[in-house]
Structure 1
Amino acid sequence: MKSLSIQEINTILNGELVGDTSQMIDGLEQLKNAQPNQMTFIGSIKYERLWDSSKASAAIVNENIRIEPGEGRAFIKVKNADLAMAKLLEEFDPGPPQFDIDIHPTAVIHETAKIGKGVKVGANSYVGKNVVLADGVVLYPNVSIFDDTTVGPQTVIWSGTVIRERTEIGAQCIFHTNVSIGADGFGYRPSDDGRGLVKIPQIGNVIIGNLVEIGSNSCVDRGKFSSTIIGDGCKIDNLVQIGHNSVMGRFCIMAGHSGLAGSVTLGDGVMIGGSASIKDHTVIESGAVVGAGSGVMNDVAAGKTVLGYPACDSREMLKQWVALRRLAKN
Structure 2
Amino acid sequence: MKSFSIEEIAVLVNGEQIGNCNDQINAPEQIENAIKGNITFIGSSKYVGLWEKSNASLALVYEGIPILPGEGKAFIKVKNPDLAMAVLLDAFEPEPPFFETDIHPTAVIDKTVKLGKGCKVGANSYIGRNVVLGDNVTIYPNVSVFDDCTIGNETVIWSGTVIRERSKIGSHCIFHSNVSIGSDGFGYRPSEDGRGLVKIKHIGNVVIGNGVEVGSNSCIDRGKFSSTILGDGCKIDNLVQIGHNSVLGKCCIMAGNSGLAGSVTLGDGVIIGGSASIKDHVTIHSGAKVGAGSGVIADVQAGKSVVGYPACDSREKMKQWVALRKLGRN
TM-score class normalised by the smaller sequence: over 0.9
**Higher deviation after alignment, 318-327 or 245-254:** 318-327
Give the CA deviation at 1:231: 0.3
Letter in 2 for 1:117: K
Give the CA deviation at 1:184: 0.2
User: Partners in 2 of 1:98 and 1:2 — Cα distance?
Assistant: 18
Give the CA deviation at 1:35: 1.1
Q: Confirm or deny: 8 A CA contact 1:173 1:210 kept in the other structure.
A: yes
User: Partners in 1 of 2:63 and 2:306 — Cα distance?
Assistant: 32
Q: 1:312-323 to 2 correspondence within 5 Å?
A: 312-323=312-323
Give the CA deviation at 1:33: 1.3
User: Partners in 1 of 2:264 and 2:32 — Cα distance?
Assistant: 42
**Secondary structure at 2:41's aligned position in 1?**
strand
Letter in 2 for 1:119: C
User: Partners in 2 of 1:122 and 1:260 — Cα distance?
Assistant: 32
**Secondary structure at 1:7's aligned position in 2?**
helix
Q: Confirm or deny: 8 A CA contact 1:45 1:64 kept in the other structure.
A: no
Q: Which position in structure 1 is the counterpart of 2:38?
A: 38
**Secondary structure at 1:280's aligned position in 2?**
coil
Q: Which position in structure 1 is the counterpart of 2:82?
A: 82
Letter in 1 for 2:268: D
Q: 1:153-168 to 2 correspondence within 5 Å?
A: 153-168=153-168
Deviations 1:16-66 (A, max 9, x none): 111111222100011111112100011112221211121111100111111
Q: Which position in structure 1 is the counterpart of 2:183?
A: 183
Q: Which position in structure 1 is the counterpart of 2:273?
A: 273
Q: Confirm or deny: 8 A CA contact 1:157 1:174 kept in the other structure.
A: yes
Q: Which 4+ residue blocks in structure 1 deviate beyond 2 angstroms?
A: none
Q: Any gaps of 5 or more consecutive residues in structure 2?
A: none
Q: 1:233-248 to 2 correspondence within 5 Å?
A: 233-248=233-248
Q: Confirm or deny: 8 A CA contact 1:160 1:178 kept in the other structure.
A: yes
Please report the TM-score for the alignment, with normalisation by the length of structure 2. Answer: 0.99
Q: Which position in structure 1 is the counterpart of 2:302?
A: 302
Give the CA deviation at 1:216: 0.2
Q: 1:1-330 to 2 correspondence within 5 Å?
A: 1-330=1-330
Letter in 2 for 1:152: G
Deviations 1:55-96 (A, max 9, x none): 111100111111111111111001001110110111111121
Percent of aligned pairs with the same amino acid: 72
Letter in 1 for 2:239: L
Deviations 1:76-133 (A, max 9, x none): 0010011101101111111211211010000000111111110100000000000001
Give the CA deviation at 1:327: 1.5
Letter in 1 for 2:324: L
Letter in 1 for 2:155: T
Please report the TM-score for the alignment, with normalisation by the length of structure 1. Answer: 0.99
Q: Confirm or deny: 8 A CA contact 1:107 1:121 kept in the other structure.
A: yes
User: Partners in 2 of 1:328 and 1:26 — Cα distance?
Assistant: 54
Give the length in aligned residue pairs. 330
**Secondary structure at 2:36's aligned position in 1?**
coil
Give the CA deviation at 1:5: 1.6
Letter in 2 for 1:259: G
Q: RMSD over aligned Cα, in angstroms? A: 0.7
User: Partners in 2 of 1:65 and 1:36 — Cα distance?
Assistant: 23
